[in-house]
Amino acid sequence: MEGMQYLRVFLTFARNSLIRDMTFRANFILESIASLCWMLGNLGFYALIFTHTPYIGRDSGWGQYEFFVFLSTTMFVNSLVQTFFMANVDEFSELIRTGGLDFALLKPIDTQFVISLRKIDWSSLVNFFAGAGLLVISLHKLSVRPDNPLHVSPTMVALYFIYMLCGVAILYSLMIGLSATSIWLGRNQTLYDFWFYITNFSRYPMEIYSGTWGRPLRWVFTFAVPVLVVVNVPARILAQPLRPNSSLSFSLAAFAIVATVASLLGSRWIFNRALLSYRSASS
């Protein structure tokens, strides 16, 4: 029954945000167009790269449309994170600094839930639909190519969505964990930037991190800070199901589940520990 109540609170948050967005409709449309343009610029950049090379990485199998599947997965994950969590987590450190967190603590509901989902940024969802368009086009191109066409099965699609949500959960955990530390540090602008730069590593296929410097990087961003599995695992399920080293993919997929659970539990623990040290600022 408690789950139902949380769902109802969430739906109220979602409706209120939508009402607010619709009050400033022109602004909403401008913001949607802006994030769409940003996405188109990126797409143009990658299209330009593929006019100069057939693949990213030798024998990696990341050709243009395989990579576009990867790119649309990045768009899905990022737009979901931005829609539901980004603005809230961004505001969290501000709430700590100003003492506004008191009001969240007083509510008879889980604090992490209120903090994380209070405001929903509907305009970021536009990239989710743009990503869906790009995904459908790329999958179509891959399945009609003459040599080695791709067959997409319902199982693959189901797994794809499950792992995409795992990716969202991992990024969310990193964000909330990092911003909870601002209870101890006071101000953490650089830390927040740091989060931005770390996710930068999730944007490309993990094969590119090879060699003396690449291997340790890949290790760190897979096992210590699991941002590499965020996009790589779901994208691989759809774009490269028939890679010869599928046993590696299997263990990577199993690891992604472990990483998701661990990140969620870890960030929850950090969040609760940080709350214990919260001393309300003047309000």
Partner 1 sequence: MSARIATWWTILRICLEERLVYRGDFALGTLMRFLPIVTQIFLWYAIFEARGSSALAGYSYEEFVAYYLLTMVSRAFSSMPGLASGITRQIRDGEIKKYLIQPVDMLGFLFLSRFAHKIAYYSVAIGPFALVFFLCRGYFHNLPAEAATHSPATAAAFAASLVMSFVLGFYLEASLGLIGFWWLEVSSLLFVYMLFNFFLSGHMFPLDMLPQPWRAIFDAIPLKYLAYYPAAVFLGKVKHADLAIDLCVQFAWVVFFIGLSRFMFQRGLKRYSGFGG
Q: Summarize as ranges the residues that interact with partner 1 (CB under 8 A).
A: 30, 34, 37-38, 41, 44-45, 48-49, 51-58, 60, 189-190, 193-194, 197-198, 200-201, 203-204, 207-211, 214, 217
State the Cα–Cα distance between residues 132 and 73, nearest whole angstrom.
9
Please, what is the minimum distance in Å from the beta carbon of residue 27 to partner 1? 8
State the Cα–Cα distance between residues 18 and 100, nearest whole angstrom.
23
- Whichever of 188 and 260 has its CB closer to partner 1, that residue is 188
- Whichever of 13 and 209 has its CB closer to partner 1, that residue is 209
Please, what is the minimum distance in Å from the beta carbon of residue 93 to partner 1? 15
136 contacts: CB under 8 Å, gap ≥ 6 = none
Please, what is the minimum distance in Å from the beta carbon of residue 254 to partner 1? 26
- Whichever of 63 and 266 has its CB closer to partner 1, that residue is 63
Residues 143/151, Cβ–Cβ less than 8 Å: yes
Please, what is the minimum distance in Å from the beta carbon of residue 219 to partner 1? 14
CB contact burial 57-94 (16+ within 10 A = b; e otherwise): eeebbbbbbbbbbbbbbbbbbbbbbbbbbbbbbeebbe
- Whichever of 94 and 110 has its CB closer to partner 1, that residue is 94
- Whichever of 104 and 206 has its CB closer to partner 1, that residue is 206
Please, what is the minimum distance in Å from the beta carbon of residue 28 to partner 1? 12
State the Cα–Cα distance between residues 9 and 121, nearest whole angstrom.
16
Please, what is the minimum distance in Å from the beta carbon of residue 203 to partner 1? 7
Pull the structure tokens for residue 122: 């509907």
- Whichever of 91 and 207 has its CB closer to partner 1, that residue is 207
Residues 175/112, Cβ–Cβ less than 8 Å: no
CB atoms within 10 A of CB 168: 21
Pull the structure tokens for residue 235: 């994208």
